[in-house]
C-alpha cells in the first residue's frame, strides 16, 4: 500500500521471502498429510515474528495491526494452514497475554512463546457455545490457592501441539461472570482430545481442550474474576482484522495463479484469457482484490492510530471480517472454475485455497455474527443521533 511506512515495507519483503522459501514449497504436501509445519514455525520465532504485537521487553516486536496484517497476508498467500496456526499463537494467545496478563505472568510465558520454544492457543468456543460465546459453561471453582476447572473447549486451533492455552471459563451465574486463565499442558486434569478432521486448513491442528477436575493456580488467573468479557472485547478487533488479512493473502494467491493460467492455457487455438467469460472473472477478482486491500489496510491503520471512535472501530473490524473472507471464497471458487478439471485436482493449489478460505467465514466469528455486530451498532448509533 502507498501509505506503508519504510518499516512496514521492509517487513513485507521479509515476510514475502520467508513465505516463498519456508511455507509455499511444502503447503500442498502438508495439506495432504495433515501435518503441522513445526520447522517453519520455529523459524518464525527466530526472525522475531511470533510476538509481532507484543512488548519488546519480553522479546516482542511491539508492532500494530498493520504489521500483523502484512504478515498474515504474505504468509496466507503461501500456506493458509500454517498462517492460521500463526494467528492462534501470536494474536489469540501471545497478544492476549501481552495485553491482559500481569508482569509475572508475562515474564513466565511470553519469552518462550515469542522465540517459538513453546506454542500457544486460545480456548473460547465450546460444543454448545460458538457464536454465543458469552454463554460458555466450562466452570472454574476456587479451592484454596487453585481453581478446579471442568468442561471442554471446542474447535481450538493448535490444541494438540500447544504448551500454553489462554482459556475463558465461567466463575459465576451471572452472564458475564467469566474469568481467564493461562494453562500449561503439564497441569493435572488438563488434556486434549482427538484431532478434528476438517475440509481445509488441514496442516493446522484443530482439537478439543478437556478439563477434568483440572487444577490451575490462582497465580495463573489473568486479572480478576469476571474480567474475561473485557479481555475478549479488547482484542477481538485485532483478531478480525488479521484473519481478514489471511483471506486477503489467499485471494492474492488465487489472482496470481489465475493470471498465469489464463495466459498459459490454450483452447480453441487461443489462450483462454482471450475469452470474455474468463476476462470477466479476472476483471472482477482483481477489482475485488484491490477493494479488499484498500479497505483492510485503511482499517488496520486507523486501528493503530486510534483515529476513529471505538464504536466505528468495532464496526470497521467486523466489516472487513465479513467482506473479505466472503469475497475470497467467491474468488477461490471462480479460480477453480477458471482452471477447469486442473483446478479441481490437487496438481494446482486453487482447490486448497477454496477449502482453506471457507474456514475464515466461520472462525473468529461467523459471517452471521459479523452481520449482527455491524447492524446492531449502526442502528444504535443512528437511534442515538435521532434522540
Partner 1 sequence: MTSGLHLELVEQVRKFCIKNIEPTAEKDDGESKFNMDIYRGLGELGVCGIVLPEKYGGAGLGYSELIVVLEEIAKFSASYAVTLSVSTMVQSMIDTYGSEEQKQKYLPELTSGKEIGAFSLSEAGSGSDAASLRTKATLKGEDYILNGSKMWVTSGGVAKTYVVMARSGADGPKGVSSFIVQNGQSGFEFGKLESKMGLKASPTRELIFENCKIPKSNILGSQGLGFNIAMSALDRGRFTIASIATGLAKRSLDEAVKYSLTRKQFNQPIFEFQGLQFMMADMACEITASELLVQKAATNFDAGINDQKIAAMAKLKATDTAMSVTTDAVQIMGGVGYTSEFPLERFMRDAKVLQIVEGTNQIQRVVISRMLKKEYS
| Chain residues in the site for partner 1 (CB under 8 A) | 32, 125, 128-132, 135, 154-155, 196-200, 266-269, 275, 277-278, 329, 333, 336-337, 340-341, 343-347, 351-352, 354-355, 358-359, 361-363, 366-368, 371-372
Residue with cell 477447469: 340
Instruction: Give the three cell numbers for residue 137.
Output: 459453561
Return the CA Rg of the chain: 21
CB of 126 to partner 1, least distance (A): 11
Task: Give the nearer residue to partner 1 in terms of CB position, either 142 or 199.
Answer: 199
CB of 99 to partner 1, least distance (A): 26
CB of 196 to partner 1, least distance (A): 5
Measured between its terminal Cα atoms, the distance across the chain in Å is 40
CB of 244 to partner 1, least distance (A): 17
For residue 182, the surrounding DSSP H or E stretch is strand 178-184
- Quote the CA–CA distance of 301 and 65 in Å, as a whole number: 7
Task: Give the nearer residue to partner 1 in terms of CB position, either 117 or 132.
Answer: 132
Burial of 380 (0-12, 13-18, 19+ CB in 10 A): exposed
Residue with cell 508482569: 103
Task: Give the nearer residue to partner 1 in terms of CB position, either 107 or 131.
Answer: 131
Question: Is the separation of the CB atoms in 143 and 97 below 8 Å?
Answer: no
Task: Give the nearer residue to partner 1 in terms of CB position, either 133 or 216.
Answer: 133
Count how many Cα atoms sit within 13 Å of the Cα of residue 68 in the half-sphere of its side chain.
34
Task: Give the nearer residue to partner 1 in terms of CB position, either 128 or 188.
Answer: 128
Total length of the chain: 387
CB of 183 to partner 1, least distance (A): 21
Can you name the residues that pair with 214 across neighbouring β-strands?
149
Task: Give the nearer residue to partner 1 in terms of CB position, either 77 or 352.
Answer: 352
CB of 149 to partner 1, least distance (A): 22
Nearest alpha-carbon partner for 179 in 231, 129, 104: 231
- Quote the CA–CA distance of 348 and 367 in Å, as a whole number: 28
- Quote the CA–CA distance of 30 and 15 in Å, as a whole number: 20
Nearest alpha-carbon partner for 345 in 358, 334, 355, 336: 336
Q: Is 104 known to be catalytic?
A: no
The catalytic residue among 8, 74, 239, 288 is 239
CA-CA-CA-CA torsion sign (343, 346, 348, 350):
positive
- Quote the CA–CA distance of 69 and 47 in Å, as a whole number: 17
Backbone torsion region of residue 365, taken as left when φ is above 0, otherwise alpha when ψ lies between -120 and 50, otherwise beta: left
CB of 327 to partner 1, least distance (A): 13
- Quote the CA–CA distance of 385 and 147 in Å, as a whole number: 46
CB of 132 to partner 1, least distance (A): 4
Task: Give the nearer residue to partner 1 in terms of CB position, either 114 or 318.
Answer: 318
Other beta carbons within 10 angstroms of residue 71's beta carbon come to 29
Task: Give the nearer residue to partner 1 in terms of CB position, either 182 or 315.
Answer: 315
- Quote the CA–CA distance of 101 and 24 in Å, as a whole number: 35
CA-CA-CA-CA torsion sign (102, 108, 114, 119):
negative
Which positions are catalytic? Answer: 239
Amino acid at each position: 500500500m502507498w501509505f506503508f511506512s519504510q518499516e512496514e515495507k521492509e517487513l513485507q519483503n521479509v515476510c514475502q521471502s520467508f513465505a516463498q522459501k519456508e511455507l509455499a514449497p511444502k503447503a500442498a504436501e502438508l495439506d495432504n498429510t495433515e501435518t503441522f509445519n513445526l520447522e517453519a514455525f520455529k523459524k518464525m520465532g527466530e526472525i522475531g515474528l511470533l510476538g509481532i504485537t507484543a512488548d519488546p521487553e519480553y522479546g516482542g516486536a511491539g508492532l500494530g495491526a498493520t504489521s500483523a496484517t502484512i504478515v498474515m497476508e504474505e504468509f496466507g498467500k503461501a500456506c493458509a494452514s500454517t498462517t492460521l496456526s500463526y494467528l492462534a499463537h501470536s494474536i489469540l494467545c501471545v497478544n492476549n497475554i501481552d495485553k491482559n496478563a500481569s508482569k509475572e505472568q508475562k515474564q513466565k510465558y511470553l519469552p518462550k512463546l515469542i522465540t517459538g520454544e513453546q506454542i500457544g492457543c486460545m480456548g473460547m468456543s465450546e460444543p454448545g457455545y460458538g457464536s454465543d460465546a458469552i454463554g460458555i459453561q466450562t466452570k472454574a471453582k476456587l479451592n484454596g490457592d487453585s481453581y478446579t476447572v471442568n468442561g471442554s473447549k471446542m474447535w481450538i486451533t493448535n490444541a494438540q501441539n500447544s504448551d500454553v492455552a489462554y482459556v475463558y471459563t465461567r466463575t459465576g451465574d451471572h452472564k458475564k461472570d467469566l474469568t481467564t486463565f493461562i494453562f500449561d499442558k503439564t497441569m493435572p486434569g488438563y488434556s486434549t482430545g482427538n484431532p478434528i478432521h476438517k475440509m481445509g486448513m488441514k496442516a493446522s491442528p484443530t482439537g478439543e481442550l478437556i478439563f477434568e477436575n483440572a487444577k490451575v493456580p490462582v497465580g495463573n488467573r489473568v486479572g480478576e474474576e469476571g474480567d474475561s468479557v473485557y479481555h475478549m472485547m479488547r482484542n477481538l478487533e485485532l483478531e478480525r482484522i488479521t484473519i481478514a488479512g489471511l483471506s486477503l493473502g489467499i485471494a492474492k494467491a488465487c489472482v496470481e495463479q489465475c493470471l498465469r493460467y489464463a495466459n498459459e492455457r490454450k483452447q480453441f487455438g487461443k489462450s483462454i484469457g482471450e475469452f470474455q467469460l474468463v476476462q470477466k472473472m479476472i476483471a472482477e477478482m482483481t477489482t475485488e482484490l484491490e477493494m479488499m486491500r484498500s479497505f483492510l489496510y485503511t482499517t488496520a491503520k486507523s486501528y493503530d492510530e486510534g483515529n476513529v471512535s471505538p464504536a466505528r472501530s468495532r464496526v470497521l473490524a467486523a466489516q472487513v471480517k465479513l467482506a473479505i473472507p466472503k469475497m475470497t471464497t467467491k474468488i477461490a471458487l471462480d479460480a477453480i472454475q477458471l482452471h477447469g478439471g486442473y483446478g479441481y485436482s490437487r496438481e494446482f493449489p486453487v482447490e486448497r485455497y477454496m477449502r482453506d478460505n471457507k474456514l475464515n467465514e466461520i472462525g473468529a466469528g461467523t459471517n452471521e455474527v459479523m452481520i449482527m455486530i455491524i447492524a446492531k451498532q449502526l442502528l444504535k448509533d443512528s437511534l442515538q443521533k435521532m434522540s
